[in-house]
Chains A and B, each alone.
Chain A
Amino acid sequence: MISDVNSVSISEGEEDKEDVIVSVEGLVHKYGDFTAVDGVSFTVRRGEVFSLLGPNGAGKTTAINALIGLLKPTSGEIYLDGINVIKNPEKVKGSIGIVFQETILDREMTVWESMEFHGKLYKIPKEERHEKIWELLELVELSEKVDEITRRLSGGMKRRLEIARALMTEPTILFLDEPTLGLDPQGRVLIWEQIRKVNERGTTMFLTTHYMEEADRLADRVFIMDHGKILISGTPERLKDKLGKDVIFLYLAEKERAREVLEGFDFINEIVEFDKGLEIVLNGSGVPLAPRIMETLDSLKPKLAVDGVNIKRPSLDDVFLYFTGRKIRETDIS
């Protein structure tokens, strides 16, 4: 593990002040002795999909609650659309939409009534409100479920309804706290589609997740958070490039003989044994290098038989592992 990579930002040049919608500076929040958020600073750009990625208990929800003015942080500064959130938490209510981690729907109301209730709470005039309800239900593909009691919706439909509801007030930024938690794969993909669609309409998206794939697919920029700190940030591609190493899995029986031959190559960083063969960590792309390895093994006498080859690009999982020294805590997920 390299220690000097802590809190690296793979930046893409200076931030244009005009483009910043959220800026957070030195955010700290303590629950008694426990420090949930420990000196976090970041900016969210207008129009992007921003993702806070980290395991459960990393401090993501605490950060969101502070950003939307639900929680007064121990210290730090938060500006949202030019509003000082800590001083004027009431003022941000109008410009944000939130989809909380837990499902917040009245189980006894219909889809339409849930939307209507929200619109009324925000004092949207009747005609405009009804127009918007139809438009948004259309967007999240729930217009055929208007009269369904929310209790009877699937998990994914409930989430989509919550997204539509949060959009009623035309927020400049939409906060989504673990939007696909507990959904099946199809439901998850549908939510991803909705998030992209909403983003294309111009809404900035602030997303927390502990699913690597989700951050990888959706986010323009990913901030990896663990133990209340941001460890690294950048676009998913740049983060993976930073690791820069493809791994080749060679499935073969004669591990020792293969290892002796391959140790000579300078494009190989490390060779690790696993039960069915060797894991070869390269310092470059695996695409041109794999055939070279195969040729070498093939030309040996006696011939060294390879049962299979697999090239793996580093994933965000690997990025996470690299910077935290451990896998994301899947066991913690409830």
Chain B
Amino acid sequence: MHGAWTIFWREMVKYKRRMMTLFVTIVQPVLWILLFGVALGSTIPEKEGSISYVNFLIPGIIGLSILFSSLFASFNVLLDKEFGLTKEILMSPTSRNQAMVGYSLSGLAKSLIQAFAVLLLGVFLIVSGSEKLVLFGEGEGFFDTFIWFLTFVLIIVIFSFGFLFMAMAIAARMTSHGALQALTTMLTLPLFFASEALYPSREFPFWLAIIAKINPLTYCVRVLQISLLGYDFRYGDNPPFHYEFADIVTGFIMVGLFTLIMFYLAIKSFQKIKLF
């Protein structure tokens, strides 16, 4: 793992230097919560026993941030290919698999930083609006909160790796920035909208429901919602959500399966990187 940690170290050195990048990547989810959450939230009447729309939106926007930041890790790899840094890395005793894992680990660190930044901001918004905050199965005791927190982190890690591996597989095969940009946008929008990040999926027409069913983001957001908001929650006068332990298990299985497939593809693609 030495080689992977070296790549990780390098990415982090640059990440620290570019605090601007961190700022920019956090701005996007912030805008979603501030603009979309507050604007749409204002049209949703408050109801006794309901959480605010912004509170509901937090898990969804965390899912969105991770999806984006993970897929965008592909640009770092493409840049390294362009500037020949992959040559330096792959001529060294560091293997291709290690390099791939190193890039992904650094991507994961960035995803986690973003996820917690969004969480903090959401909490701040809700608390400062003196609304009721529901977080990590609130009111069930320290141990339960801790378990929910672990669940929250674990699903982020697995889900983020899934899309990081996908980004690695794509970047290893791509040569053009324009094409990579187009492909990334083409992937993120449908994944985002055909999920439960912004609204429930129960009223989706058949074709959209199918996409939502096979969409890893749907499952990730579901586990995030359960870990943050509990098995039962509702916002506004929408019908209540009700989940069970089985939903968490299904969520982990679906996201885990996706991540395994992407891991395989990433490994295969990295073997194919041409060095000149």
Contacts and interface: CB of A to CB of B under 8 A. Distances in A.
Interface of A: 65, 68, 70-71, 93-94, 98, 100, 102-109, 113, 117-118, 120-123
24 contacts: A65-B276, A71-B276, A93-B93, A100-B87, A102-B84, A103-B84, A104-B84, A104-B85, A104-B88, A105-B83, A106-B10, A106-B14, A106-B85, A109-B10, A109-B13, A109-B14, A113-B13, A117-B9, A117-B10, A118-B88, A118-B92, A121-B3, A123-B2, A123-B93
A121 B96 CA distance: 12
B6 interface: yes
A108 B87 CA distance: 17
A121 B14 contact: no
Contacts of B84: 100, 102-104
A118 B91 CA distance: 11
Contact of B92 (A68, A106, A113, A121): A121
Nearest to A113: B13
Nearest to B5: A120
B35 interface: no
**Which 10 pairs of residues, A with B, have the shortest CB-CB distance?**
A104-B84, A121-B92, A120-B6, A108-B14, A117-B10, A121-B94, A121-B6, A104-B88, A122-B92, A70-B275
A177 to B, nearest CB: 11
Contacts, number: 54
Contacts of A93: 91-93
Contacts of A107: 83
Contacts of A122: 92-93
B93 A121 contact: yes
Contacts of A118: 88, 92
A106 B6 contact: no
Interface residues of B, number: 21
Interface string B128-140: 0000000000000
Contacts of B202: none
Contact of B93 (A68, A71, A94): A94
A108 B76 CA distance: 12
Given A70-B275, A106-B10, A121 B83 contact: no
Helix, strand, loop or mixed for chain B's interface? helix
Interface string B82-107: 01110111011110000000000000
B18 A104 contact: no
B276 to A, nearest CB: 6
B6 A70 contact: no
Contacts of A108: 14, 17-18
A113 B12 CA distance: 12
B87 A104 contact: yes
Nearest to B17: A108
Contacts of B3: 121
Given A93-B92, A117-B6, A121-B93, 5 more contacts: A104-B88, A109-B14, A117-B10, A118-B92, A121-B3
Nearest to A106: B85
Contact of B83 (A68, A71, A106, A123): A106
B272 to A, nearest CB: 15
A167 to B, nearest CB: 14
A104 B275 CA distance: 12
B276 A70 contact: yes
B9 A120 contact: yes
A128 to B, nearest CB: 15
Contacts of B275: 70
B12 to A, nearest CB: 11
Contacts of B276: 65, 70-71
A110 to B, nearest CB: 9
A121 B88 contact: yes
A123 B10 CA distance: 14
A23 B94 CA distance: 27
A66 to B, nearest CB: 11
Contacts of B87: 70, 100, 104
A254 B88 CA distance: 63
A118 B276 CA distance: 20
A71 B276 CA distance: 9
A267 B275 CA distance: 55
A68 B87 CA distance: 12
Contact of B91 (A98, A102, A109, A113): A98
Interface in B152-199: none
A68 B88 CA distance: 13
Interface string B8-50: 0110011001100000000000000000000000000000000
Nearest to B92: A121
Contacts of B85: 104, 106
A213 B93 CA distance: 36
A123 B93 CA distance: 8
Nearest to A119: B6
A105 B83 CA distance: 7
Nearest to B84: A104
A73 to B, nearest CB: 14
In this complex, the member of B9, B18, B88 whose beta carbon has the largest number of chain A beta carbons within 10 angstroms is B88
